[in-house]
Amino acid sequence: MAYFSGLWAKNINALSWVKTNSTTASGQSGQIGFSSLWAYGITMAGLLLLLKWLEWRFVIIDHSIAIYIGLIALFFTFFGIWVAKQLLEVKTQTIVVEKEIYVPVTPEFVLNEIELKKLNLTSREWDVLQLITQGKSNTEIASDLYLSTSTIKTHVSNILSKLEVKSRAQVMEKAKRLKITP
């Protein structure tokens, strides 16, 4: 029984050494637990052999029951370690890292329909407005729509009135600002 106490004390020392070792070596990921366990086991076994071999003959008969208990202790220690490994499941921690991605937003044009409806333009006025924003002259617009310049002038005049501006240049500026044209 005296030897068993000694073995206990040695085990604690061996344990603390193994633990220190595993902490410092924690850089290499993965199998730390297993290799440390082996180191621990081998160290323990080595100590046991070392201690016992020195006084083997004196002990082998007198303290056979103590050795037996020691082996039982050793076995169940490993058994406990095995049990712990089964019980302690690997915790999976999911960390969601929000990563800002600057999407190359295509200079997509979304027509501001709210503002467009406020203007209360007729469909023909809308046609003319779009051609105006393309920098076209009255003559060109008339040509595009197969109309006379007189008609275009009328439409343009109405557009200016509805947009509350005084020139086609201001129409272009305001149409851009209100996002009713690309």
Partner DNA sequence: ACGAAAATGGTACTTAAGTATGAATGTATC
Partner DNA sequence: GATACATTCATACTTAAGTACCATTTTCGT
Which residues of the shown chain bind its own copies in the complex (CB under 8 A)?
Answer: 15, 18-19, 22-23, 26, 32-33, 36-37, 40, 65, 69, 72-105, 107, 132-137, 165-174, 176
Nearest-Å Rg of the Cα atoms of the chain is 45
**Among 14, 125, 131, 163, interactor with DNA by CB under 7 A:** 125
Say how far apart CA 57 and CA 51 lie, in whole Å. 12
DSSP for 140-179, written as a single string: HHHHHHT--HHHHHHHHHHHHHHHT-SSHHHHHHHHHHTT
Quick one: 23 or 148, whose CB is closer to its own copies?
23
Q: Does the footprint of DNA cover residue 148 (CB under 7 A)?
A: yes
* Maximum CA extent, the chain: 128
Alpha-carbon separation of residue 31 from 27, 34, 37, 45, 92 (angstroms):
11, 5, 10, 21, 16
Quick one: 22 or 149, whose CB is closer to its own copies?
22
Q: Does the footprint of DNA cover residue 5 (CB under 7 A)?
A: no
Cβ atoms within 10 Å of 49's Cβ, excluding its own:
11
CB of 116 to its own copies, least distance (A): 18
**In whole angstroms, what separates CA 129 from the centre of its chain?**
48
Say how far apart CA 1 and CA 53 lie, in whole Å. 17
**Among 11, 43, 138, 181, interactor with DNA by CB under 7 A:** 138
**Among 161, 176, 177, 182, interactor with DNA by CB under 7 A:** 161
Q: Does the footprint of DNA cover residue 154 (CB under 7 A)?
A: yes
Q: Which residue's entry shows tokens 């503002």?
A: 115
Span interacting with DNA, options 51-59, 61-69, 86-94, 135-143, rule CB under 7 A: 135-143
154 binds, among its own copies, DNA, none (CB under 5 to 8 A by kind): DNA
Q: Which of 75, 70, 24 is nearest to 47 (CA)?
A: 70
Quick one: 52 or 173, whose CB is closer to its own copies?
173
List interacting residues with DNA (CB under 7 A). 120, 122-125, 137-139, 145, 147-148, 150-151, 153-157, 160-161, 166-169
